[in-house]
Amino acid sequence: METKGNDPIFKFCDAYGKVVNHGLSKREYFAAMAMQGLLSNQHITQQISISRLSSDDESKVFALISTWNADALIKALNEKKGE
């Protein structure tokens, strides 16, 4: 079974089985979890702060790293064992 990044992770259906809310995509959810882990790691946040980036640029760095990790996880989930 293939994992697709744009598939909903927590879709919500009504009593008749009709999807009424797609919620976050798998990619968004995986990126959020990666960002949570990054931001909770004091060593990583200190290293980014030492780089003297503006706060907007720091946020972009965390967002990029998080989405890269989400994409890598989706790719790894789709690889067949033994490849």
The H or E element that residue 60 is part of is helix 55-78
What confidence score (pLDDT) does residue 82 get? 59
Q: Residue ranges of the domains in the chain?
A: 12-78
The answer to whether the predicted template modeling score (pTM) of the entire model surpasses 0.95 is no
Q: How many CA atoms lie within 13 A of 2 on its CB side?
A: 4
What confidence score (pLDDT) does residue 81 get? 66
What beta strand segments (E) does 1-83 contain? 12-13, 19-21
The one-letter amino acid code at 35 reads M
Instruction: Give the model confidence (pLDDT) of 35-81 as tens digits.
Output: 999 999 999 888 887 777 788 888 899 999 999 999 999 999 999 76
